[in-house]
Structure 1
Amino acid sequence: MMNGNPLLAGLPPVHPGAILREDILPGVDLPKTEVARRLGVSRQTLYDLLDQKQPVTPQMALRLGRLFGNSAEFWANLQRDFDLRTLEVSMAAELAAIEPVAA
């Protein structure tokens, strides 16, 4: 298991689209169509992100950071953490077969 926050141990990784859908969008008084328009993306692109069918790309991270006043790094880091935690599980056997070297 990756080194990280011990409070997160055993919890499934959270896709940034779920955070956007569950935490961010309910706090803004805008319909999803307007959010998509302000982001400069199609409604389908936004819905795919919210449904966790698409990742947060660097371009989308820049858009989301600008729209919601946080940062592109916030969104990119959420996606990176999700990807690493998801891959770590699916690659467990492959990773276990790699013999580490001392640095």
Structure 2
Amino acid sequence: MLLTKKKPVSAGTLLVEEFLEPLGLTQTELVELSGLPRRQVNELCRDCRAITADTALILAKVFGNAPDFWLNTQLRADLWAVMNTPQQG
């Protein structure tokens, strides 16, 4: 995995800007399609919650892509954050 100085797009931003908005879906419609709790969908969209393996499976089923797509997006953002956060101590 190649990491750059530029912050990668977050999984929540990707969910909203590349899936929900182009498809004309609301968070409420995603809740209905996925069976995920409303709070979880909202927190994902606001980048207040990370994509987990079970959520990746659900999103992949809803959007017709692979769970790895969602997990890799989350992993890239997590690694970038760790590598670009000043070390304490």
TM-score (norm 1): 0.76
Which residue does the alignment assign to 2:43?
48
* Contact map agreement 2:57 2:67 (CA 8 A) in 1: yes
How well do the aligned residues superpose, as a CA RMSD in angstroms?
A: 1.9
Other structure's SS at 2:33 match: helix
Which residue does the alignment assign to 2:10?
15
How far apart, CA to CA, are the structure 1 residues paired with 2:76 and 2:88?
20
Other structure's SS at 1:90 match: coil
Residue 4 in structure 1 maps to residue 2 in structure 2: yes
Which residue does the alignment assign to 2:56?
61
19-28 or 46-55, which deviates more? 19-28
Other structure's SS at 2:84 match: helix
Query: Which of structure 1's runs of 4+ aligned residues deviate more than 3 A?
Result: 91-94
* Contact map agreement 1:18 1:50 (CA 8 A) in 2: yes
Q: Which has the higher contact order (CA 8 A, sep 6+)?
A: 2
Name the CA shift for 1:30/1:13 in 2 (closer, same or farther; >3 Å).
closer
21-30 or 79-88, which deviates more? 21-30
Aligned length: 89
**Any stretches of 5+ residues in structure 1 without a counterpart?**
95-103
Q: What displacement does 1:92 show?
A: 5.6
Identity of aligned residues (%): 28
How far apart, CA to CA, are the structure 1 residues paired with 2:64 and 2:18?
14
Which residue does the alignment assign to 1:99?
none
